[in-house]
Amino acid sequence: MDDDRTVTLVEVGPRDGLQNEKAVIATQDKLALIERLADAGLTRIEATAFVSPKWVPQMADHDAVMRGARRRPGLTLSALVPNEKGAVAAIAAGAQELAVFASASESFARENTNCTIAESIERFGPVLALARTHRLPVRGYVSCAVDCPYEGPIAPAMVRAVAERLLDIGCAEIAVADTIGRGTPERVDAMLADVIEAVPIGRLACHFHDTSGQALANIDVALGHGIRIVDSAIGGLGGCPYAPGAAGNVATERVVAHLASLRYDTGVDPDKLAVARAFASGLKTAK
């Protein structure tokens, strides 16, 4: 299929999806979920986060998950890392991509990382250096790209500035995130129009939560701008422990069906995805 009709999905269910679940999910179940997602044809899976178990208990088994996830041709397993210590551990465990997490909101940065936006990006320097040494790509998230739970609406210029800084320090890809799911197509359009002035389209991704039921409409806006990398989470799992009111990510199965209706190719098998969806649903309800 024409590359312009191909959309790459980044499956964030095992990390962003499960991190907010209160009941601890067994490591073997996480590995089984990753396996089913890969079986369905998802080629980029954010497997875990190398963060302190004190802050995100669900990710305490990050080393076992990253080491235990089966490698296969065409699959990239990534890990979120907050700092150099996390990056060292993730690389040792076999992460194939790293992700760092910045914010377009100063209030959210303080709540999430206990520092300013500038300080949080400064911490990423050693992470990028390690990644270069090991020839690993680094994805940079810009959270609160539309709204902040503490500050309200975020100016597009602020999102652009943070995205540009992440690009400058060496991030291979920038994912702008509507962290609390309040984004409307009009506001997402304005934000992306500004960010695209600083970040090449091919290096830009979108991460939408579906709190207000606008995620698919916002994805349509991103597609209209030429963006072809979209985040989603199986079964709509997820939320953010530092963002009050943040419901689940947009569901992978809904995105796949929606894109198919628009004649975009994701390479994902809907039937096998349904198997992964049923498994994920069992994890979520097994309290």
CB 278 within 8 A of CB 270: no
pLDDT number for residue 22 = 82
pLDDT of amino acid 287: 46
pLDDT at 286: 54
Q: What is the pLDDT of residue 248?
A: 78
The rounded distance, in Å, linking the Cα atoms of 93 and 103 is: 27
**Predicted local distance difference test score (pLDDT) of residue 246:** 47
pLDDT at 241: 45
**Where do runs of H (alpha helix) occur along the chain?**
27-39, 62-68, 84-92, 106-113, 117-122, 124-133, 156-168, 185-195, 215-224, 252-261, 270-285
Check residue 5 and report its DSSP letter: G
**Positions in the chain whose pLDDT score sits under 70:** 1-2, 239-247, 284-287
In order of their start, the domains of the chain are 3-285 (3.20.20.70)
Q: Give the separation between CA 76 and CA 16, rounded to whole angstroms.
A: 16
What pLDDT does 242 receive? 46
Structure token pair of residue 123: 């911490």
Residues 6+ positions from 120 with CB-CB distance below 8 Å: 101, 102, 103, 109, 113
| Catalytic position from the list 148, 171, 206, 240 | 240
List C-alpha distances in Å: 218 to 2, 119, 201, 212, 237.
23, 30, 16, 11, 18
From 237, 181, 173, select the one nearest 202 (Cα to Cα): 173
pLDDT of res. 108: 87
What is the reported pLDDT for 211?
86
Q: Burial, 51: exposed, middle or buried (Cβ in 10 Å; 0-12, 13-18, 19+)?
A: buried
pLDDT at 83: 93
Residues forming a β-bridge with 44: 10, 76
* Residue 284 confidence (pLDDT): 61
DSSP 18-67: TTT-SSPPPHHHHHHHHHHHHHTT--EEEEEE---TTT-GGGTTHHHHHH
Residue 240 appears among annotated catalytic residues: yes
At residue 169, the pLDDT reads: 96
Q: How far apart are CA 203 and CA 225, in angstroms?
A: 13
Tens-place pLDDT, residues 129-173 = 999 999 999 999 999 999 998 989 999 999 999 999 999 999 999
- Tell me: the pLDDT tens digits for 236-275? 987 544 444 445 799 999 999 999 999 999 999 999 999 9
Nearest to 164 by CA among 197, 122, 131: 197
